[in-house]
A and B are shown apart, each in its own frame.
Chain A
Amino acid sequence: MGVTDDDRVFKALADPTRRLLLDRLFVRDGRTLTELESELEMTRFGVMKHLKLLEAANLVVTRRSGREKLHYLNPVPIRQIHDRWIDKYTEHRVSALLDLKDELENA
Chain B
Amino acid sequence: MSTMTAETTQVYRVYIRTSPEAVWDAITKPEWTERYGYQGVADFDLQVGGKANMRPGAGMREFPHVPDTIIDGEFLEVDPPRRLKQTWRMLMDADLAAEGFTTLTYEIESVGEGVTKLTVTHELENAPRNAHVVAGGIEAEGGGGGWAWVLSDLKSVLETGSHMAAG
Contact = CB atoms under 8 A, between A and B. Distances in A.
A35 B1 contact: yes
A30 B119 CA distance: 15
A99 interface: no
Contact of B13 (A70, A74, A78, A87): A74
A95 interface: no
Contacts, number: 68
Q: Main SS of the interface on chain B?
A: mixed
A61 B156 contact: no
Contacts of A80: 14, 152, 155
Contacts of B11: 29-30, 61, 63, 72, 74
Interface string B153-167: 101100000001010
B14 A76 contact: yes
Interface string B138-152: 000000010111011
A75 interface: yes
B15 A83 contact: no
Interface size class of A (residues with CB under 8 A): 20 to 34
Contacts of B6: 28
A63 B152 contact: no
B58 interface: no
A8 B133 CA distance: 28
Interface string B1-42: 110101101111111010000000000000000000000000
Given A58-B13, A63-B11, 9 more contacts: A2-B17, A28-B4, A38-B2, A63-B121, A72-B10, A72-B11, A76-B12, A79-B145, A80-B155
Interface of B: 1-2, 4, 6-7, 9-15, 17, 115, 119, 121, 136, 145, 147-149, 151-153, 155-156, 164, 166
